[in-house]
Amino acid sequence: MSKAGKGIRYAEVERETTETRVRVVLDLDGGTRQDVNTGIHFFDHMLTLLAFHGRIDIGVSAEGDVHVDDHHTVEDVGIVLGKALKDALKGDEPIARYGDNSTPMDETLVLCSLDFSGRGRFLKDLPFKREKIGDMSTECVTEFFHALAQNAGLTLHLRCLTSENDHHLAEACFKAVGRAIFSATRTIDRRGAPSTKGVID
């Protein structure tokens, strides 16, 4: 179930399965409020960073079978957040569409490029060494971004140039994606279609 605001870039999306119940509320033109509770503390920290650096007001609540694994909760939050981003951008105002940056975190450097292309695809080179960071599996970092890209209609590239610390690598990824989303979703003064093809899909 989703509900998008009119005239403002706002969305509410909910998803309930036998494994999880997730609700996301976001405002793309906020940036001062982040209220995140997924039951996975490290994931909460990463989502807060993404929203802060993306200057997004966000509320995320999730209840999942974390007693089994963190996978379902992380993936479903990615699905719902992706859908919320897509809904919030359904208005008529044209956006920059592309965003990219290089984000350092101490010894770590991550490159991020994304395009609100309408075609969800995630490509990465993220050499995590540990199985977990805190209470989150490192494999779930890529699962989250895959789900986000698929459901937001994002072409998303993340590449690690150098890193010695998996915590820093994960943190740089979430910050980089937040910063790129902010750049890509800025409204611009452009007439006509958002692509030379006439449509984005």
Instruction: Please say whether the dihedral angle defined by the alpha carbons of residues 116, 181, 56 and 80, taken in this order, is positive or negative.
Output: positive
Q: CB neighbours of 120 closer than 8 A, spacing ≥ 6?
A: 82, 149, 150, 151, 152, 153, 154, 155
pLDDT value of residue 30: 85
Nearest Cα neighbor of 76 from 5, 146, 165, 161 is 146
Confidence band, pLDDT 50/70/90 cuts, at residue 37: very high
Element (H, E) at 84: helix 71-88
Q: Where do the structural domains in the chain lie, given as residue ranges?
A: 2-184
Question: Residue 109 pairs with which residues in a beta bridge?
Answer: 104, 162
CATH number for the region 2-184 comes to 3.30.230.40
Hey, which bits of the chain come out as E strands?
2-4, 10-16, 20-27, 34-37, 57-64, 98-105, 108-115, 121-125, 132-133, 136-137, 155-162
pLDDT by residue (tens digit) across 92-125?
889 999 999 999 999 999 999 999 999 999 999 9
DSSP single-letter state for residue 54: H
pLDDT by residue (tens digit) across 46-68?
999 999 999 999 999 999 898 88
